[in-house]
Structure 1
Amino acid sequence: MSILTTPQILDAGLEDWRPLAQALHTRFLTRDFTTGLALVSAIGALAEEAGHHPDLTLTYPHVDVKLMSHDSSGITERDTDLAHRISALAHERGILADASAPTVLELALDTADSAGIGPFWAALLTGDPGALHGDDVVDPTGRVPLLWFQHTDAHATPRQRFHLDVWVPHDVAGARIDAAVAAGGTVVDDAGAPSFTVLADTDGNRACVCTALGR
């Protein structure tokens, strides 16, 4: 099944959901554990019927849901269809969604030799040197954040440049950037916005606020 483009996802009418990185995300405000547990059970039944299974995180006040097609490494119609059904299920129970809440943390490492260092980082983070998908170290169990290798020019003197990619819904990115600037940060580069905006703290440590737009 083919991966949907960002405009196709945004046109799917998924008011409860936002695309972040490779998946659809939402948070349902269940407000108590029993309601959340019942919602998780109902979503599980839907997933079994559809033959497609989301990642679910149950906490006392909310349930986080992540949908992606692992065989396609992205979002497909299988995901948007199930997202609609999950939203309908929640709405029938009077459970509201907060589509502004989901956030995905991604690690980025500049390198001119991703093939050379990839197995090391895959083994270190997941225990499996083969846990690589293109330029990404992917932990299928979800224990650690996604690590991706940002290509850079070769350099004679070894150096290390990590930065954080903070994925947020596209309609809250501006507020997140404003909050970081108000807290003492600076915008280093917004030429890639709305796809990504580079920020720095007062020590010069950098991070990117990323959205699905423009990709």
Structure 2
Amino acid sequence: MDKLTSTQILEAGLDDWRQLAQGIHARFRTGSFTKGLRFLTAVTEAAEAANHHPDVTLTYPHVDLLLISHDVGALTSRDVDLARTISSIAAEHGLKPQPGALAEVDLALDTAAPAAAGPFWAALLTGDASNVRGEDVVDPSGRVPLLWFQETDSHETPRQRFHLDVWVPHDVAGERIAAAVAAGGVVVDDSQAPSFTVLADGEGNRACVCTALER
């Protein structure tokens, strides 16, 4: 299957879905656990028919879904097709999409030796030192955030070495950045926006607001 670019995903017109760090995501408000379960039963039937399956999280007020073609580690037409089907099912069930509520957090560690650091962090975070893909630590169960390593020069501590990458929908990033600034933060670097914008809190601790655009 051909991997799709972020531009192709945007042009697909998936209004209920947003691309974040890993795949495309959607949230549908159900208002009750029972409605969510009925919705997911219909989604399961569609997924079985397509032989392609989303990751799902069912809670009392909403259902979260993630689509990605795991066999190629990217988004493909299978994800777009199933996303459209799921949106149709949600509409049939009277469920409201909430794309503005979506977010995803990755951990980033500055290190001069990413290859050496990977197995340690994989063992610590997932219990298995082999859970390294490239130079990223990935939890197959999805219980902990992805950890990636940003190469840097060797340096003495103290210096902030961990930072959060907060992935939000591209049409929410400006609002999220403005809220962080209004809460006492500052914009450190927006030269790579909308791909990412570097922010800092009042003590200088940094984080990035990231989107799938221009990647």
Q: TM-score range by the shorter chain?
A: over 0.9
Q: Which residue does the alignment assign to 1:40?
A: 40
1:157 counterpart = 2:150: no
Kept in 2: contact 1:26–1:101 (CA 8 A)? no
- What's the CA shift string for 1:135-184, capped at 9, x where partnerless? 2100010110110111112x253666000000000000000000000000
Kept in 2: contact 1:196–1:211 (CA 8 A)? yes
| Cα RMSD for the two superposed structures | 1.1
Rounded Cα–Cα distance in structure 1 between residues aligned with 2:40 and 2:56? 7
Kept in 2: contact 1:69–1:79 (CA 8 A)? yes
Paired residue type of 1:141: S
* Partner SS for 1:57: strand
Gaps of 5+ in 1: none
Kept in 2: contact 1:194–1:213 (CA 8 A)? yes
TM-score scaled to structure 1, two decimals? 0.97
| CA drift at 1:6 | 0.4
Q: Could you tell which deviates more after superposition, 158-167 or 106-115? A: 158-167
TM-score scaled to structure 2, two decimals? 0.97
Paired residue type of 1:157: E
Q: Which residue does the alignment assign to 1:172?
A: 172
Sequence identity (%) = 65
Rounded Cα–Cα distance in structure 2 between residues aligned with 1:75 and 1:100? 21
| CA drift at 1:87 | 0.4
Q: Which residue does the alignment assign to 1:148?
A: 148
Paired residue type of 2:62: H
Q: Which residue does the alignment assign to 1:57?
A: 57
- Paired residues for 1:82-93 under 5 Å: 82-93=82-93
Q: Which contiguous aligned blocks of 4+ residues in structure 1 show a shift greater than 6 angstroms?
A: none
- Paired residues for 1:114-129 under 5 Å: 114-129=114-129
Kept in 1: contact 2:198–2:209 (CA 8 A)? yes
| CA drift at 1:202 | 0.5
* Partner SS for 1:14: coil
- What's the CA shift string for 1:113-147, capped at 9, x where partnerless? 11111100011101111101112100010110110
Q: Which residue does the alignment assign to 1:113?
A: 113
1:103 counterpart = 2:100: no
Q: Could you tell which deviates more after superposition, 127-136 or 185-194? A: 127-136
Gaps of 5+ in 2: none
| CA drift at 1:107 | 0.3
1:94 counterpart = 2:94: yes
Rounded Cα–Cα distance in structure 1 between residues aligned with 2:195 and 2:39? 33
1:31 counterpart = 2:64: no
Q: Which residue does the alignment assign to 1:214?
A: 214
Rounded Cα–Cα distance in structure 2 between residues aligned with 1:111 and 1:36? 43
Number of aligned positions between the proteins = 214
Change (3 A) 1:100 1:156: closer
- What's the CA shift string for 1:92-112, capped at 9, x where partnerless? 121121111110011000112
Kept in 1: contact 2:188–2:198 (CA 8 A)? yes
* Partner SS for 1:115: helix
